[in-house]
Structure 1
């Protein structure tokens, strides 16, 4: 698989090529691909001239996507008072970029269910991804940033972890080798952000999102430090709340990202109430 162009891809390629894990090389990465309809949605939402009718028609071609988009539009998350029955009406209620985010979420859910590759990590990954996305939306709203971009970045921030797991599984199957658990854990921790940046180059994801994913553990180095800081803070809070992982408690609040974003104790207290409710409502709406 040839790698995408771009600064994020270039730096990621060099880091992997010179890394400590010979099985994790840029040209050998096992990158999950989104279904065709999801790719089409991502492409259309990037077009400022896209119409509601065109986007709804693409979503409607996939019964699962259509059902989930309608379900989200009719959920408590969007204050649904009267039920909608058409995908077109759902797109109007949600907005095109929210539809994109729902489509990516649903597509990821279908991709990462293989127990042979991910074990229980696939389920935990999706729980953490969805939780982080909704927390990122809260943070972005507070600092008056782009909430839909923040949501997408939160959703995708750890996609590289699954790329590393897929690549390890592929290598072991092909070579009859065994990668030690501690080596795999080290590779996931060290390279997931870089692998995520590479993977998203194949997904019609904006370059800005790829850069944020690559730098979500080093937000000062991102092209947009505030956007990357939002993603990083959301990730920490998602760990604090135990979204897809064991709750980590208040220790994460000592990180410098919180004063950087001016997330004070009063805001955190409100987030402690709102975030779990959003997470549970999203789980119900997404199925």
Structure 2
């Protein structure tokens, strides 16, 4: 039986071979935004407080605007608007504001592949939904709720890196392939690339393992529960975004 890669056009196969053969140290990983790094550090510091987080977010004007917009959305504050970050942290809590800040700082602007901008936005929407569903699945299953958000947010981080690599290769060699072929390559290699990203970003071991095994949780060496939570959350996110009742039923059965 032929593999999806072997069914691609010669140009797409050449791109797939290039992506497959890139060593880890040659994979172009975007820099983790400094503010995201600092937010992560604060979230892991038991001595940190709301004032420190508010001050950090305020140091990045664009991030502060994103956080306040999300915090004032109907999902979080349906009855009254908030006018300051300190107020937002006090009302919503340090943990939730940290998650909002991480999601806002790890946005699609760290990837620059204009041809695939719409696809990157789709990936990001799904990742964000997976992050929030992850918390709900973990809560119901009595698993690690705190880790579930970050694992869900980063579970598919290899996909935009693949798209960036395809875009760069296509520019260098003046070739183009169909979006369907791009999808096959993205699906085949995103886990490998995602592992490289979270390792180079020095994410916690539970996140690295979840990225590696979320689609193959039966073979997880440790943190299998988190890989399972992320897998379920990704299916629920996909079902929700599709809007199809049958997809939701299937996800719930899984």
**Which category of TM-score, normalised to the shorter sequence, fits these structures?**
0.7 to 0.9
- Match of residue 253 from structure 1: 250
- Match of residue 149 from structure 2: 151
Report the CA distance between 1:221 and its aligned residue: 2.2
2:194–2:212 contact (8 Å) kept in structure 1: yes
CA distance in 1 between partners of 2:196 and 2:249 (Å): 28
Match of 1:61 among 39, 59, 62: 59
Q: Give unmatched runs, 5+ long, in structure 1.
A: 1-19, 259-287
Give 1:136-285 correspondences, 5 Å limit: 136-178=134-176, 184-222=182-220, 223-241=222-240, 243=241, 247=244, 249-250=246-247, 253=250, 258=254
2:131–2:152 contact (8 Å) kept in structure 1: yes
Structure 1 residues 154 and 252, CA, compared in 2 at 3 Å: closer, same or farther? farther
Structure 1 residues 104 and 203, CA, compared in 2 at 3 Å: closer, same or farther? farther
- What RMSD, in angstroms, separates the aligned Cα atoms of the two structures? 2.8
Deviates more, 1:197-206 or 1:212-221: 197-206
1:237–1:252 contact (8 Å) kept in structure 2: no
CA distance in 2 between partners of 1:198 and 1:115 (Å): 19
Deviates more, 1:89-98 or 1:118-127: 89-98
Structure 1 residues 194 and 94, CA, compared in 2 at 3 Å: closer, same or farther? farther
Task: Give a deviation string over 1:187-224, Cα, whole Å, max 9, x none.
Answer: 31122122112112233422211211111101122221
CA distance in 1 between partners of 2:170 and 2:199 (Å): 25
Match of 2:91 among 90, 93, 98: 93
Give 1:20-35 correspondences, 5 Å limit: 21-24=17-20, 25=22, 26-35=24-33
Give 1:67-82 correspondences, 5 Å limit: 67-79=65-77, 81-82=79-80
Alignment length (residue pairs): 236
CA distance in 2 between partners of 1:67 and 1:191 (Å): 35
- Match of residue 123 from structure 1: 121
CA distance in 2 between partners of 1:45 and 1:231 (Å): 20
Q: Give unmatched runs, 5+ long, in structure 2.
A: 1-15
Structure 1 residues 119 and 254, CA, compared in 2 at 3 Å: closer, same or farther? closer
Structure 1 residues 146 and 158, CA, compared in 2 at 3 Å: closer, same or farther? same
Deviates more, 1:36-45 or 1:114-123: 114-123
1:194–1:214 contact (8 Å) kept in structure 2: yes
CA distance in 1 between partners of 2:153 and 2:143 (Å): 16
Return structure 1 stretches of 4+ with deviation > 6 angstroms: none
1:73–1:80 contact (8 Å) kept in structure 2: no
Task: Give a deviation string over 1:71-128, Cα, whole Å, max 9, x none.
Answer: 3333333356443322123223333332232122212334267462423202211221
